Amino acid sequence: MDQLKEWDLSGKCALITADSRGWTPFFAEALAEAGADIVLVGDDIEQINKSRNVIKSYGRASMIHLIDLTSYEDIQSVVSKTLTEFGKIDILVNNAQSDFSKPFLQVSNDEWKNIMSYNIDSVVMFSKEVGKHMVANNYGRIININSIAGVRGMWNSTLKCASRGAISQLTSSLGLEWAEFGVRVNGIGAGWINTSSSDSDDVLNRYLPSRRIGHPTDLCGLLVYLASEACDFVTGTTINIDGGALAHA
């Protein structure tokens, strides 16, 4: 068995939703290095352009679309344009999320609706539109970039935890529903991740047995695996990369 060949994404088309957290360029680089062509969609032009420059450095084809990630019409349009340009979508990375921290009694109804729409509806709508194509083609990889907040309560983070929990259950359910069609749906449960190398000693000492905060590159190896043919026997699960945070009582 040629293990490395199964990880090769050459000839694959990946669609990544981008946000302002700064993780997208690292994910784009990982998939481009593995051989994939990439479509970037979202509303943060800085992160999208940065990601596209990385993709170009690997000689991969790319497209960018600035859209409202909560608009079903925008999502339908960008999926249609991607299929017209590339003929297929092999990999969907639902990466865009909004981190929001506030005591629950101070959360307005509009804040609740907006955060839930951005964090959940965008994942649901992209999964539905891209999933139609994947199911019809009997092949696909959907990776939901999630958080350990989906399985663990956190102070002043009710919206974040509730939305991440919903994504965890969506991942499990779609993984079951679409398994027979060759579509693998999995998640990455990220722990404390920062694009810089510094954070408070309090976080490191109290919550992270690894004694360091994570970086988006810590997620990239798993991302490539879940996007590849090597993960054919893995679906409906969220794999945590958290520096041991969940194992810490």
Which single residue is written with the structure tokens 């993960």?
231
The stretch 62-77 carries a mean pLDDT of: 97
Q: Please state the domain extents for the chain.
A: 3-241
Q: What is the pLDDT of the chain when averaged over all its residues?
A: 93
Q: Which two tokens stand for residue 190?
A: 């990220």
CA gap 185, 144 in Å, rounded: 8
CB contact at 8 A, 20 and 43: no
| Confidence band of 198 (pLDDT split at 50, 70, 90) | low
What pLDDT does residue 48 have?
Answer: 96
Instruction: Write down the pLDDT at residue 137.
Output: 98
- pLDDT at 201 (0 to 100): 54
**Better pLDDT: 199 or 217:** 217
**What does the pLDDT read at residue 200?**
54
Band (154; pLDDT cuts 50, 70, 90) = confident
Q: Closest Cα to residue 79, out of 24, 168, 140?
A: 140
The residue with tokens 């027979």 is 180
Residue pair 40/28 in contact (Cβ under 8 Å)? The answer is yes
Architecture of the domain spanning 3-241 = 3-Layer(aba) Sandwich (3.40)
With H, G, I as helix, E, B as strand and everything else as coil, classify residue 186. strand
Is residue 197 scored above 80 in pLDDT? Answer: no
Three-point CA angle 54, 86, 235, nearest 5°: 80
pLDDT (tens digit per residue) in 28-56: 999 999 999 999 999 999 999 999 999 99
pLDDT of residue 121: 95
What does pTM read for this prediction?
A: 0.95
**Contact, 47 vs 25, CB < 8 A?**
yes
- Percent of the chain predicted with pLDDT > 70: 94
Tokens 């970086």 belong to residue: 215
Q: CA–CA separation, 186 vs 168, rounded Å?
A: 9
Burial 215-237 (b: 16+ CB within 10 A, else e): ebebbbebbbbbbbebbeeebbe
Q: What is the pLDDT confidence band of residue 195, given thresholds at 50, 70 and 90?
A: confident
Q: Is the pLDDT reported for residue 213 higher than 80? A: yes
**Interatomic CA distance for residues 42 and 145, integer angstroms:** 15
Residue 206, pLDDT score = 67
> Which ranges of the chain would DSSP assign to H, the alpha helix?
3-7, 24-33, 45-57, 72-86, 109-116, 122-137, 158-177, 201-207, 217-227
Averaged pLDDT for residues 189-216: 77
